[in-house]
Chains A and B, each alone.
Chain A
Amino acid sequence: MSMVPTSNAFKDNATGALKDAPLQEALGIARAHSIETRRNTVAKLPEFEQLRDIGRDLKNHVIANLDTYLLQFEQSVIDRGGHVHWCPDGDSARAKVLEICRKVNAKTVTKGKTMIGEEIGINDFLFANGIEPVETDLGEYIIQLRGETPSHIIGPALHVTKAQVEETFRKAHSDLDPQRNLDDAATLMAEAREKLRAGFLKADVGITGANFLIADEGATTIVTNEGNGDLTQTLPRIHIVLASIEKVVPSLKDAMTLLRILARSATGQEQSVYTTFSSGPRRPTDLDGPEEFHVVLIDNGRSSYLGTEFEEMLRCIRCGACLDHCPVYHSVGGHAYGWVYSGPIGALLTPAIVGVENAKPLPHASSLCGRCEAVCPMRIPIPKMLRHWRETEFTRAITPPTERTGIRFWAFVARRPKLYRLATRIGARVLKSMAGSRGRLASVPLAGGWTKHRDLPAPQGKTFHELWKEEQGGRS
């Protein structure tokens, strides 16, 4: 029931994305916006780099004590009157959510933004079982109406232009006057606010994600700018939290470390507008709030990466900074990656969750330029880990035979310095003479993919090793 990945079609997806004019317009706006906003806000907090170190160490500590903190979290939730459900995979998580909804004969469910919800395809599943899921995050609402998936972790409708939003609203809100003016973004937002307000007030169940789980308080945390997550969890009779296991932190004080770097990394805000800690259902004398509080803890393959070269990806706090700084993401957007997560972190997580054989091109959809690691608040070494995926593909013979032969050949030569130097010396001279006086090559054998779109500047006749030797010789 969860979304079928089309990640193996990355090359075709990317080609399509490059020719998609509205997408390129939307990406252009995002590109111009995100890097500078983050940089300006980060510059105002001198301790930012130190907080990144502490955040990284905190997550490493949690990952090394995950069972302890999850058990503590479970007990604390029970102490506050809530329920915890342990779901190893998407199937069990979907079944649990449906069971809770069925118990109260839920007809509609409002939803705050949850990436783990996208991961397990909860919307399609509820819909197929006769329950209407209503996305309430403005971006999620727009893409739900358009039948799309998120193209960015925190800006799910980043790929949609304002003109497309207008078109979508005119089609979806057919009960409203077709002549109404929807020229500006504020009018569009006001219309969505009206529509969704009705949804909030009639929903039986509210489902949110969780940015953090606080072990000693039994509290879940959501961070939003719109307030939709709060209406989602305050108004219905039942609040269900979908959370993956690595979200747990020991205490509120530890959560403050992450809260001081999350918004700055994500949107370049000093702080997101709403950070909400929820623990248990409404107390007997409370005037509002849900009557039941359920936390669905989901593993979905994560624990199998503990104690492996991939475990550092479990530090991710889903801020989206790596997407915002990635030249590949900037060029092709999120949908080209073919599944729920996109950009550098998507290239890392998708093979882990859906299997590397279903996401073969993603570890290669990177020039390994390292911008992602440079901005990751949790200092996840994404380029290094993409290389681990490339190795895995090679050792598990997922890499195509011709490529494997090429890699083997290169490895053979690269491990023999004399042969390597000889080969590069010959290669450099041959390419130089092939290029002639133009100094550029329009086509090169075995490099057709590269030269199809641009010329290859030819070597000038000497290899780096030769030049270096001359340079050293000149000095001594």
Chain B
Amino acid sequence: MSTGTGRDRMLASIKAGISRQAERRHGAAGPAKPTPLIPARATAPGVDVVDLFRTMLIAAKATLDEVKSRDDVPAAVQKYLAANNAEARIRLSPDKRVSSIAWDKVPLLEISSGRSHGKDPTSVTPAVAVVAETGTVILQSSDQTPTTLHFLPDQHVVVVSKSQIVGTYEDALARVKRGPDGGLPRTVNFVTGPSRSADIGKILLMGAHGPKKLHVIVVDEEL
């Protein structure tokens, strides 16, 4: 079967349907594209997006830590791993926002970098932004930020600077780093809390296929 034929048949059938619509409207104009509406939850005057992000992230069953400087991140990660009985071993995105952190300050932490093949208990990655309206982390693929780190490990630790906390999805999408042709990267992920499923007896459980835990470390200064 040639796809050209299928394409022509489908388009012809769709056009015939659009003619029927026009007949039914008796000359009236077709339905216009509505203007999107952004909820006021994160945009109303006086809303503290940092505070809203804290609340919504926790509501999504993720966890949060806040530190003053980049230099505090290794200790915060070590503390998190210990508290969760996780191996002292992390896989970093090659992105310099996390790879250039002084990880050697925590000598017992085993560090590697690159994509995941499914053997890494914990990943540490940067993000495009984090969104206050629903506590959502926005991630993207690139030569520095492999997607496998966002889905294969049991624990996913996201490190962002306070300036990366935005109100809405739209604010975050404006920060996605596009390709040379202006197009989206291969993938953009919105992540709201750890992986979960209620497919067994409607009992909601964390850790279906993606990370069992999602932890966000917010750094006061720029990364």
Contact = CB atoms under 8 A, between A and B. Distances in A.
Interface of A: 26, 29-30, 33, 45-47, 50-51, 53-54, 57-58, 60-61, 63-67, 70-71, 76, 79-80, 85-88, 92, 95-96, 136-139, 142, 155-158, 160-162, 165, 185-186, 188-190, 193, 196-197, 200-201, 217-219, 225-228, 230-231, 234-235, 245, 250, 252-254, 256-257, 259-260, 267, 269-283, 285-289, 297, 299, 303-308, 311
Counting chain B CB atoms within 10 Å of each CB, the highest count among A189, A286, A287 belongs to A287
A68 B15 CA distance: 10
Contacts of A197: 118, 209
B107 interface: no
By secondary structure, the B interface counts as loop
Interface stretch (B73-81, B158-166, B182-190, B215-223): B182-190
B27 interface: no
7 contacts: A46-B39, A86-B3, A188-B200, A200-B118, A276-B189, A286-B141, A286-B146
B167 interface: no
Contacts of A201: 117-118
B115 interface: yes
A165 B205 CA distance: 15
A250 B33 contact: yes
A262 to B, nearest CB: 12
B30 A64 contact: yes
Contacts of B1: 92, 95-96
A228 B195 CA distance: 9
Contact of A276 (B23, B143, B187, B196): B187
Contact of A196 (B19, B170, B209): B209
Contacts of B47: none
A232 B201 CA distance: 24
Nearest to B35: A54
A275 to B, nearest CB: 4
Interface string B1-43: 1010011011101111111111110000011111111111100
A368 B18 CA distance: 30
B6 A276 contact: no
A226 B192 contact: no
Interface string B177-214: 00101011111111111111111111101011111000
B123 interface: no
Contacts of A66: 14, 17-18
B189 A92 contact: no
A226 B209 contact: yes
A160 B16 CA distance: 43
A94 to B, nearest CB: 11
A20 to B, nearest CB: 16
Candidate in A58, A63, A185, A280 with the most chain B CB atoms within 10 angstroms? A185
B134 interface: yes
B134 A138 contact: no
Nearest to A258: B36
Given A57-B31, A273-B210, A47 B40 contact: yes
B30 A289 contact: no
Contact of B189 (A26, A158, A275, A283): A275
A253 B33 CA distance: 12
B31 A61 contact: yes
Contacts of A33: 202
A47 B18 CA distance: 32
B18 A307 contact: yes
Contacts of A286: 141-143, 146, 186
B197 A277 contact: no
A235 B209 CA distance: 13
Contacts of B211: 227
B138 to A, nearest CB: 10
A288 B203 CA distance: 33
A232 to B, nearest CB: 9
B207 A193 contact: yes
A335 B16 CA distance: 35
A231 B173 CA distance: 22
Contact of B143 (A92, A136, A287, A311): A287
B121 interface: no
Contacts of A252: 173
A267 B199 CA distance: 12
Contacts of A86: 3, 6-7, 10-11
3 closest Cβ pairs, A-B complex: A306-B17, A227-B210, A307-B20
Contacts of B146: 286-288
A235 B146 CA distance: 11
B93 to A, nearest CB: 9
Contact of B201 (A71, A162, A303): A162
B77 to A, nearest CB: 21
Nearest to B118: A201
Given A270-B56, A270-B134, A54 B14 contact: no
Contacts of B59: 270
B63 interface: no
